[in-house]
Structure 1
Amino acid sequence: MKITLTRTLPLLLSATAATISATPYPTLISRSSPVAFINSLSTALSSKTTKQYNLLTMSSSSSSSFSWSPQQKQTLLSCPTISLRDGTPHPAIGFGTYKVGFVPASASSAVAAVGAGNDAPQRTAEECVRDALDLGYRFFEWLVLHSIISKAAEVGKAIQASGVPREELFLVSKVWTTTIEKGDGAIRAQLEKTLSDLGTTYLDLYLIHWPVPGKHVNAYKTLEKLQSEGKIRNIGVSNYVVEDYQELLDNGISSKPSVNQIEINPFLYRKNTIDYFQQQGVVLQSYRALRDGKAMDHPTLVKIGTVHSKSPAQILGRWCVQHGFVYVPKSVKVERMVENAEVFDFELSGEEMEELDSLTTPEALSAFEALYKKCVNRDTSKDGTMEGVKMNIIVD
């Protein structure tokens, strides 16, 4: 028999002679391991009934016995796309690998904890990407830090083992601050290493991770050269405020960024900034779309989720998709990878979208501003200082 575990779908137990349907168990499944849940359920059944069922146990660290229907996989394989400047179709949902496998020492203190403990223990990036590929994810994003082994090697192993054709994938990476500061040669060397690790000759999208003061414009121009050489299909930026983007335009770039990856969720919805970039034709990728799992008990998310028989995570994901942002969730657990993808089969009302839009507080905007100023020099020779940092920026 087959058991499909999600936090929002009914649990179905099938047998040759009977079918038992139960109501959703969002709290039990989200706070217990799937194996513990099944064990407790089978104990609750009578011994006679239990013998009639071949209960399938599932390991939360592998997709090998996880039930994922062809129809559900097709949802990801045929997910909506968003057109970039050159018409390239960018998948509306992807799989982020940052902090999957470990938490780097240089990670921002604001996000260093992994999902409030929900995703511990960690698995390797190779294992997680392998599972995500099996489930139908085709857009993958990762970051190369100066102090750690590139995850591209692990991503590459998973991709090569999957047999998925390169043309079906959308591969994205970023240039870290340390490399940006070192300039053209370091950027080229990092890209060559990434391509080698992945076993590919090009990236679909390459991003400047932070607008390092005095360095990011030249780094962007290096990416333009790499694009002309065919090693990058599209160029983008990350964590750019309006003033950083305008600095690029004022310094003679020849190709405007296709993407800006910034933190976007209902608790950090910077509408004026978002409107500006969208008017500029810049597609917005949302990181921390699920807020590292720290808002799953928020009453507004729970209330709206109840109306749609969806989890708070799915409400956050749908909010991103419905706003036209690229949604980049991550998890080390297969059942959450599945859950995160189930955002295309329902729609939030206008009133619900407005209610979610209103959750950003002045305190959240202040925290964003402080984090921006802290991070633009991070891991560079200016780390810990405000040298060159823009002090007057559009925050909201």
Structure 2
Amino acid sequence: MSADNYTIESRVQLNDGETYPRFGLGVYVTEPGAETYNAVTWALEAGYRHIDGAEWYENEESCGKAIRDFVERTGTPRSEIFFTTKLMHNKTDPAWVEHCVDVSTQKAGISPDLYLIHDPNGGPEVRAAMWEGCCRVKDKGKVKSIGVSNFGVKHLEDLLAGKPKYVPAVNQIDLHPFMTRNELVAYCESKGIVLEAWAPLVRGLRFKHPVVVEIAEKYKKSPAQVLIRYGLDRGFIVIPKSTHKERIIDNANVFDFKLEKADLDRLTSLDEFLVTDWEVSTVP
């Protein structure tokens, strides 16, 4: 599907044959309990079909309950809602991954659709062991798809050099006009690894950048909507975060326009390697 025809439910084909929504809600540092539950509920009511959580965020239970309650209340098939969670600690035993998946599943009350290694820390042998564990849980049907997060080119090269059964389906990274990671993007695309932007809104740090403001005025959109659309038009999965109902709805209002190539290129030229939170893509 071309970017011209994207809708809130549009999916991207993954290298394992599964599909995944291009647009979703991130719940990073969203408080467990009512804050997370409400944000996920509002997102689902607004048409979102992808919720990105993590063991680290300590809100898997709230995410799962909101999804389960929405499914029960609306009759929406569970298969139409996609839930991501992530491995928090990397260890040397592949069996650790299955244990963590089981714990996350128990907390959420639903099985993860996508399971990611949250970071590359630990070194090549540890990463290989954790990836072997991911391959095992996929083979057992405990998750549909597996991938990584915050991995750099060297991490992926090391991983693939071991000829694992599966290539990561997704690499979720800090990715936006002010952090374009051209080499990493090109590498992932060459390996069929879909890029997912975990901070498409740049944490709000560049909403007032003159180029972003100018382009937003041109399309009669907000800076946030332009930044989200940028990620979509680059072919990335985007998971903007908000806990405010109005912003959750506004963030989804990005499917009635498309950035012209000149504007897309202009935004890409703003790269300044802006780290919005943490940067571990070069750890050994």
Relative to the length of structure 2, the TM-score reads 0.90
Task: Write the distance in 1 (CA, Å) between the matches of 2:139 and 2:258.
Answer: 40
- Is residue 2:79 matched to residue 1:167? yes
Question: What corresponds to 1:384 in structure 2?
Answer: none
Question: What corresponds to 2:4 in structure 1?
Answer: none
- Structure 2 residue corresponding to 1:203, chosen from 95, 112, 122: 112
- Is residue 2:96 matched to residue 1:96? no
- Is residue 2:164 matched to residue 1:253? yes
- Deviation string 1:137-158 (CA, Å, 9 cap, x unpaired) is 110111112xx7x311111111
Using the TM superposition, give the Cα deviation of residue 87 of structure 1 relative to its aligned residue in structure 2, in angstroms: 2.6
- Deviation string 1:170-220 (CA, Å, 9 cap, x unpaired) is 1111111x2x126334322221121122222x3211111111213111001
Task: Write the distance in 2 (CA, Å) between the matches of 1:371 and 1:206.
Answer: 20
Identity %: 31
Structure 2 counterpart SS, 1:90: strand
- Is residue 2:168 matched to residue 1:269? no
- Deviation string 1:264-287 (CA, Å, 9 cap, x unpaired) is 100001112101111111000001
Q: Contact 1:217/1:248 (CA < 8 Å) preserved in 2?
A: yes
Q: Contact 1:285/1:327 (CA < 8 Å) preserved in 2?
A: yes
Structure 1 counterpart SS, 2:196: strand
- Deviation string 1:110-135 (CA, Å, 9 cap, x unpaired) is xxxxxxxxxxxx96211211111111
Query: Superposition pairs for residues 135-214 of structure 1, below 5 Å?
Result: 135-145=46-56, 150-162=58-70, 163=72, 164-176=76-88, 178=89, 180-181=90-91, 183-200=93-110, 202-212=111-121, 213=123, 214=125
Structure 1 counterpart SS, 2:240: coil
Task: Write the distance in 2 (CA, Å) between the matches of 1:206 and 1:313.
Answer: 27
Letter in 2 for 1:287: W
- Structure 1 residue corresponding to 2:280, chosen from 348, 369, 372: 372
Task: Write the distance in 1 (CA, Å) between the matches of 2:261 and 2:46.
Answer: 31
Task: Write the distance in 2 (CA, Å) between the matches of 1:249 and 1:185.
Answer: 20
- Is residue 2:261 matched to residue 1:355? no
Letter in 2 for 1:167: S
Structure 2 counterpart SS, 1:124: helix
Question: What corresponds to 1:84 in structure 2?
Answer: 14
- Is residue 2:24 matched to residue 1:128? no
Q: Contact 2:92/2:130 (CA < 8 Å) preserved in 1?
A: no
Using the TM superposition, give the Cα deviation of residue 228 of structure 1 relative to its aligned residue in structure 2, in angstroms: 0.7
Task: Write the distance in 2 (CA, Å) between the matches of 1:235 and 1:161.
Answer: 26
Q: Contact 2:225/2:254 (CA < 8 Å) preserved in 1?
A: yes
Structure 1 counterpart SS, 2:53: strand
Task: Write the distance in 2 (CA, Å) between the matches of 1:356 and 1:253.
Answer: 36
Query: Superposition pairs for residues 65-76 of structure 1, below 5 Å?
Result: 75-76=7-8
- Deviation string 1:35-92 (CA, Å, 9 cap, x unpaired) is xxxxxxxxxxxxxxxxxxxxxxxxxxxxxxxxxxxxxxxx53xx32110013322111
- Deviation string 1:335-379 (CA, Å, 9 cap, x unpaired) is 111111111111111111111010012xx26x69x8327xx8xxx
Structure with the greater alpha carbon radius of gyration: 1
Task: Write the distance in 1 (CA, Å) between the matches of 2:225 and 2:81.
Answer: 24
- Deviation string 1:298-342 (CA, Å, 9 cap, x unpaired) is 111110010100000011011100010001101000111111111
Stretches of structure 2 that go unaligned for 5 or more consecutive residues are 1-6
Task: Write the distance in 1 (CA, Å) between the matches of 2:26 and 2:87.
Answer: 15
Q: Contact 1:142/1:174 (CA < 8 Å) preserved in 2?
A: yes
Task: Write the distance in 2 (CA, Å) between the matches of 1:183 and 1:208.
Answer: 14
Q: Contact 2:55/2:85 (CA < 8 Å) preserved in 1?
A: yes
Structure 2 counterpart SS, 1:173: strand
Letter in 2 for 1:190: C
Query: Which aligned segments of 4 or more residues in structure 1 are displaced greater than 6 angstroms?
Result: none
Letter in 2 for 1:211: P
Question: What corresponds to 1:303 in structure 2?
Answer: 214
Task: Write the distance in 2 (CA, Å) between the matches of 1:218 and 1:185.
Answer: 9
Letter in 1 for 2:18: T
